[in-house]
Structure 1
Amino acid sequence: MTQLPSDSSELTLANAVQIALRRATRGELAMLEFEHLLAPGKRLDLRMRLIVDGGPVDFAIELVGQAYPRDIARAIDLVKSAQPDGDVPVIPLVAAEALSPGAKELLRQEDIAYFDRRGTLHLRWRHWIIDIQQTEAKAAPSAKHGALNLFTGARAGVVLAVLHSRGEWLHVTELAAMAQTTGFTCSKVLQELELLEWCESEGSGRTRRRRLVKPNALLDAWAQAWPPKKEKRSHWYCFAPPTPGGVQRRLSDALQKSSPSFPWAFTGATPANVYAPLLTAVSDAEIIVPPGHAARFAERLGLEPADKGFNVTIIERDASSLLFRKDDADGMWSASPFILYLDLLDGRGRNKELAENVRAKMELGRDGIGE
């Protein structure tokens, strides 16, 4: 065995992949060589020989951290260039702390085996078909790239701005103005979207710009994280005529007479049915206000607290949910269509159907690089 790698994370990964291969193949370790020389100036991280069913098999292994398609081109080149040692067959394999779905797909296309610390092991060779998907190991406790929570606080506002950009090329400064936040926050979100392969970039430095190419993937991921954990809901009763739209008209009249100084917006079925008509009538209302303003807002509208039989829900959320709200010309504000869509995913009544109608109206198209 040659000198062990100085990076402890690489040594841990090397140990993990050799243990996983031995278990999966029921083989015995015969040789483990770090920094295997392929050609002058070209070294492979690891070459391992197992004795399987009485015969030797070599694995040409390159170790990587958090791997996305653009990160593994060099690793693919290295493992594919490994030559058999005499009659001993060699299997190219990329081992990673974590592999993105796109990286896995690329490795399968290149017919290269792969392993990651989350428990994935995929290998097709001769009569071997090994496909273990994240069932035998936990994720690495400390990865070089920790996943960023995109859907909280100011970052959620950046996500909303990116969705509203409709695939247009954006500089960080433009996005910061749209999201009403800092360039640093926008840069962090855009970097994460690139790593997830949901956005593409061109240029470098200050001239670098990016655009969203997988809006459906981004919106679906946001839906999985919805609703925001820090939101607070309170329920109220509005005295209004028992007719279709009665609550909405009562609230509209009150807001026109005394509109609050802080931002707010209708969300849920009522504005969604105006944006993408589907339902014959909506009998209640949901309104987003900034944190701490629910009681003042309810008092302004003459609402009464109600645990049962309520027809108004006031949702206290941070400012990101109020970005891109729309003025319906009469002083009535509606939340962004993306927020409407997310709020309709609550399983109530026909909200799911209405959500699908809203999503169709937004015309996101299909996901794809450069489209």
Structure 2
Amino acid sequence: MDMSANIRYSEHIHWTSNMLKFEIEEGELLESLVTAISKLPEGQAIVRAREVPIGRNGRADALVDIVVGGRPMQLLVEAKRDAFPRDVRESVWQLRTNAAHLPTDGRDILPFFVARAISPGARDILREEGIGFYDLGGTLYIPAPNAFVFIDRPPPRNTRKVFESVFQGQKARVVMAVFERRHAWLSVKELAETTEVSPATASSTLTEMERREWVDVQGSGPSKLRRLRAAEDVLDAFAPCRSGWIKSAAVRIMPLPAKPQHKLMRPISPASPNSDAASFPAHFKSRSSTIWMPGRSARDGISAL
């Protein structure tokens, strides 16, 4: 019996199911955006159209007519489930291209990005590019002329696992190995052997690090190599996740001093390869079992590492 047709059919059903699910999520995102804008002073919003063709090959997920502070404008919306720096860089180009080909009736056209959750690094890129954005945590950024709005809130609690999952389980071993060997170019095979995880786990973890723009990439295919480029960003991203690890460890937590006594510190060994409960620990440990953790920002102390 030929099973290949059934397998292809099953994959098609799975893909179609995911698309339908995202369409529902996209509708909820747009509804939440309209509600958030309507709560602004003199704020009004209505979804004018969805899945709008633009130019020869362009497409907008939605057009939203809004009024903020008495000023009418139109949002050209790109929607994603979750967003990291690499995701929004790709969307910025598409949004700008679509905006250039969108007919205007005299109103300002504002490229706009919506997602369930947008990472801090992705938010920074969108602000730098002058792209508006909104997520389900309530963060709203509208950089329009004479109608600037910025409500900054943390990612929604039920989506934080999207950002923190890379510091959990077997993925944490891979991230830690990349951090500890941050000056070396590393392959999937090498990391899988070093951390004793499957090549699939090593590969998926490195892909997540790419989305966050934590690593540089060299080559492609089986010979593809990565090297850490943003040690500070890794530590800053880990800081909100550290409480779960701290609760399970009988250690004393101290802030990282302005001039860490790194000469008294030695690298922590990775968790047992047989344990799936490994999390991303502090990176240096003193002989007295004190964990030196970064404060609000690891950028102040990373140069000493």
Q: TM-score, normalised by structure 1?
A: 0.58
Q: Does structure 2 conserve the Cα–Cα contact (< 8 Å) formed by 1:36 and 1:46?
A: yes
Offset of 1:122 from its aligned partner? 1.0
8 Å Cα contact 2:264/2:286 also seen in 1: no
The Cα of 1:130 is off from its aligned counterpart by: 0.9
Q: 1:338 aligns with which of 283, 288, 294?
A: 283
Task: Give 1:276's match in structure 2, choosing from 263, 286, 297.
Answer: 263
Q: Which residue of 2 aligns with 1:206?
A: 222
CA contact (8 A) 1:29 1:51 kept: yes
Q: Indicate if the aligned counterparts of 1:148 and 1:192 stay in contact, CA closer than 8 A.
A: no
| Structure 2 counterpart of 1:38 | 54
Identity between Structure 1 and Structure 2 (%): 26
| Residues 254-277 of structure 1 deviation map (CA, whole Å, 9 limit, x = unaligned) | xxxxxxxxxxxxxxxxxx98x715
> 1:8: how far off?
0.7
Q: Which consecutive unaligned segments of at least 5 residues does structure 2 have?
A: 1-18, 252-259, 274-280
1:103 to 107, 117, 122: 122
Of 79, 96, 99, 1:63 maps to 79
Poorly superposed stretches of 4+, deviation over 6 Å: none
Q: Deviations over 1:171-225 (max 9, x none)?
A: 1111122223332332233223222222222333322221111223324544651
Contact 2:217 2:227 in 1 (8 A): yes
Amino acid at match of 1:276: K
Using a 3 Å threshold, how does the CA distance of structure 1 residues 199 and 226 change in structure 2: closer, same or farther? farther
Structure with the larger helix share: 2
Find the aligned partners of 1:230 and 1:54 in 2 and give their Cα distance. Answer: 50
Distance 1:221 1:110 in 2: 22
Task: State the distance in 2 between where 1:153 and 1:42 align.
Answer: 40
- Give runs of aligned pairs for residues 1-371 of structure 1, distance below 5 A: 6=20, 7-29=23-45, 32-52=48-68, 56-80=72-96, 81-82=98-99, 83=102, 85-134=104-153, 139=156, 141=158, 146-222=162-238, 225=242, 228=245, 231=248, 233=250, 276-277=263-264, 318-319=271-272, 338-340=283-285, 343-345=289-291, 363-364=304-305
Q: 2:212 and 2:28 mapped to 1: Cα distance? A: 25
1:95 to 1:105, Cα distance in 2 relative to 1, 3 A: same
Decide whether the 8 Å contact of 1:62 with 1:75 is kept in 2. Answer: yes
Give the number of the structure whose alpha-carbon radius of gyration is greater. Answer: 1
The CA distance in 2 between the partners of 1:63 and 1:337, in whole Å, is: 35
> Any idea what the Cα deviations from partners look like across 1:240-292, whole Å, max 9, x if unmatched?
xxxxxxxxxxxxxxxxxxxxxxxxxxxxxxxx98x7159xxxxxxxxx99xxx
Amino acid at match of 1:199: V
The one-letter amino acid paired with 1:345 is I
Paired amino acid for 2:156 = A
Unaligned runs of 5+ in 1: 235-271, 279-287, 290-316, 321-335, 365-371
**For residue 100 of structure 1, what is the amino acid of its counterpart?**
S
SS at match of 1:56: strand
Asked if the contact 1:48/1:60 (under 8 Å) is kept, the reply is yes
> Structure 1: which amino acid aligns with 2:81?
G
Q: State the one-letter code of the partner of 1:109.
A: E
Q: How many residues align?
A: 259
Contact 1:46 1:60 in 2 (8 A): yes
The C-alpha deviation readout for 1:19-39, integer Å capped at 9, x for no partner, is 222222533345611122321
Q: What is the distance in 1 between the residues matched to 2:125 and 2:244?
A: 34
> Is contact 1:168–1:211 with CA below 8 Å preserved after alignment?
yes
- Offset from partner CA, 1:76-126 (integer Å, 9 cap, x none): 234333345322222221112222223222222221211112211111222
Give RMSD over aligned pairs. 3.9
User: For residues 117 and 172 of structure 1, do their structure 2 counterparts lie closer, same or farther at Cα, with a shift above 3 Å needed?
Assistant: same
Match for 2:130: what amino acid?
D
